[in-house]
Structures are given as C-alpha cells and as structure tokens.
Amino acid sequence: MAGVSIAAQLSGLDAVVDTLNKLIANSQNLYPAHAQMGEYLLESHQSRFQLELSPDGEPWEPLAPETLARKEGEDRILQQSGTLRDTLSYEATPDELLFGSNLEYAATHQFGREEAGIVARPFIGLTSSPWDDTDEILAILRDHLAES
C-alpha cells in the first residue's frame, strides 16, 4: 500500500494540562481582577475629570454663557461641587464589574438632554488617549489568570 504516514509523540503534555487547569481555576472567581479593574477605572476617570476629557480624548463642550454666569466665576465643567466626580464607584463580584454613578443627572451629562439644552459631555467609558484603559484592563485580567 502506497502512501505517507506521520507519527508524532507528544512530550510536555503535563505542563500544558497544568496550565489549562490553572486558567480554569483562576477564571472561576474573577472578583480580585474585577476589584483591581474597578480601582483602576476610578483613578482613570478621576484623571480625566481633572483634564475635562471624554473617554475618546476630546475636551468636554465648553459651558454655556448662562451657566458660567450662574456659577459665579467657577468655570470647571461638571465639577461645580465635585459630587458627580466623587460618586463614581464600582461594584465587583466574581462574575461582573459594574462602574458608574448612582446620580440621576449623571445620565443627563453622559448623554445630554436636548429638550433642556444640555449637551452631552461623556465622562464614563474606556479610553485609548491619552492613556489606554483597555490595555490596562486586559493586563489586569491576564495577570489574574496567570497567577499560581
């Protein structure tokens, strides 16, 4: 019988199985990674508030003249009292990470409210400029999954 045959012998299979078992075990409880991601997101968003930047790196829309007049010289955007910035928080569980603010007006500022003349000033989200939140979050997850 004519043909070709290939014989292969696998070695080091125990190391592969051990690595896969470690990945499976570490993926069962992502709470430590989610908590670390939440802390990172708090810092990242606090920095963006200081810079008055949206997640895409664009400056927030300037305040309207009537808003500036009402704020009596305070020209910081979304930071009149600091409450919006200070209510950013996260909830980490083994299965998910929730991040945001519990203030009703947070959604108004994130998405805008046309009928009230309030423009959107997105402040929640992952950014790639001037730093890359996605890379950092993936690094946190990678480190968690690789832990012994």
Does 24 map to a domain? no
CB half-sphere exposure, 138, CA atoms < 13 A: 6
Q: Please provide the average confidence, as pLDDT, over all residues in the chain.
A: 88
- pTM of the predicted model as reported, rounded to 2 decimal places: 0.80
% of the chain residues with pLDDT over 70: 95
Does 127 map to a domain? yes
When comparing pLDDT for 78 and 124, which is higher? 124
Does 21 map to a domain? no
Provide the domain count of the chain.
1
**Secondary structure element (H or E) that encloses residue 92, with its range:** strand 89-92
Name, in order, each residue with C-beta under 8 angstroms of 114's C-beta and a sequence gap of 6 or more: none
CA 67/CA 130 separation, integer angstroms = 28
Domain extent at residue 127: 29-146
Does 86 map to a domain? yes
pLDDT value at residue 129: 62
- The model's confidence at residue 107, banded by pLDDT at 50, 70 and 90, is very high
CA 135/CA 99 separation, integer angstroms = 17
Q: Per mean pLDDT, which range of 31-40, 45-54, 72-81, 83-92 is the poorest? A: 72-81
Does 15 map to a domain? no
Which among 89, 70, 80 is positioned nearest to 121, based on CA atoms? 80
pLDDT value at residue 138: 92
Does 18 map to a domain? no
Does 63 map to a domain? yes
